[in-house]
Amino acid sequence: MGIADLLAGVEARGAFGVWLGRLDGLPVFQHRAETTHYSASTMKLPVAMAMMRRVAAGELALDQPIQVHNDFASAAGGRFGVNPAEDEAPATWTRMGAKVPLGWLATEMITLSSNLATDLVLEQVGVDAANAVLAEYGSGASVIRRGIDDAAAQRAGISNLMSPADLAAVLVAVGNDKTPGGEYVRDLLAGNQWNGEIPAGVPAGTRVEHKNGWDTTIRHDGGIVYPPDAEPFVLTACTTSELPDAEAQRLIAAIATEAWQHRHDLETVR
């Protein structure tokens, strides 16, 4: 069963998008790859990239201390806080009121997908800087407009959006970035501990540099897969659907398996 067949089997149950290609940025398979979805935690990758740009410019330092707090400026005006019940990474919360290194927060943001750590990093980086990274590599349709859990902004229609094609473009940029900053971000992605999508569809031990995201009706993943016997490939999948979450994860894993099976001749994917 090819990727197109897998997607045809769920088409009536939501919106599904896939982009598959190599680090040259040219797609070999696309399915509704330009359609945007609510980004969920995939927006944390451009945030990390923007952070490393500011580190390289000497404007930030990975070892600089940041006080952990839960009070942020809303994109709609006023203030907001992260809902701890919706944050599956508890470590940052245990440091409330203390100072921790920016690099520690970045690790929590990517490897455990901490929402609180994300908003702390984003506060240092700036929403505009994170959005500029996404705009530089993407089509312009994907955007970062607010922090995680900014409920007032969400009610005002201020949302973060991501398409499979734009997530792939950002991953291609990261994969080709040979600077220390690029290496740092790739190592963060490789340390991701939520591995139920793309990594679940390839052999155990395969290096996968990926960032996923999830919310009600949402399950996304995008990553660079490094087979030991073939060129790396980039795969992104975004799902907004009525599928149970575990089923959406299995779908993305199955798509990754199809890509893996064609890794020696990726153009034969169907």
Domain chopping of the chain, boundaries:
1-35+163-270, 43-159
DSSP conformational letter for 9: T
Name the band, by pLDDT with cuts 50, 70 and 90, for residue 193. Answer: very high
What CA–CA distance (Å, rounded) separates 4 from 242?
Answer: 19
Q: Return d(Cα 122, Cα 119) in angstroms, integer.
A: 5
- Helix (H), strand (E) at residue 176: none
Q: 43-159 maps to which CATH number?
A: 3.40.710.10
**Calculated CA dihedral for residues 40, 46, 50, 51, nearest 10 degrees:** 60
Would the pLDDT of 231 be above 90?
Answer: yes
Output the CA torsion sign for 32, 268, 42, 40.
positive
Give the pLDDT mean for 65-76.
98
Q: How confident is the model at residue 257 (pLDDT cuts 50, 70, 90)?
A: very high
Q: What CA–CA distance (Å, rounded) separates 197 from 60?
A: 33
What confidence tier does 15 reach under pLDDT thresholds 50, 70, 90?
Answer: very high
* Mean pLDDT of all residues in 126-144: 98
Percent of the chain at pLDDT exceeding 90: 99
pLDDT confidence bin for 129, thresholds 50/70/90:
very high
- The CATH code of the domain at 1-35+163-270 is 3.40.710.10
What's at 9, amino acid-wise?
A: G
User: 58: helix, coil or strand?
Assistant: coil
H-only helix segments in the chain? 3-8, 44-56, 102-111, 115-125, 127-137, 151-155, 164-175, 180-190, 245-261
* Per-residue CA distances from 26 to 8, 51, 94, 223, 266 (Å): 23, 27, 44, 15, 11
Q: Inform me whether the pLDDT recorded for 179 exceeds 90.
A: yes
Q: Give the sheet arrangement for strand 27-31, strand by strand.
A: 27-31, 14-22, 233-241, 218-226, 207-215
* Neighbour count for residue 168 (Cβ, 10 Å): 26
Helix 180-190 with 164-175: angle, nearest 10 deg:
120
- Do the domains spanning 1-35+163-270 and 43-159 agree at the CATH topology level? yes
Q: How confident is the model at residue 55 (pLDDT cuts 50, 70, 90)?
A: very high
pTM of structure: 0.98
Q: Residue 1's CB: how many other CB atoms inside 10 A?
A: 11
Average pLDDT, the chain: 98
Nearest-angstrom CA–CA distance, 108 and 176: 24
233 forms beta bridges with 22, 225
Question: Stretch 238-251: mean pLDDT, rounded?
Answer: 98
pLDDT score for 1: 79
pLDDT value for 155: 97
- 126: Cα within 13 Å, side-chain hemisphere: 9
Q: Does the pLDDT at position 43 exceed 90?
A: yes
Residue 264: per-residue pLDDT: 98
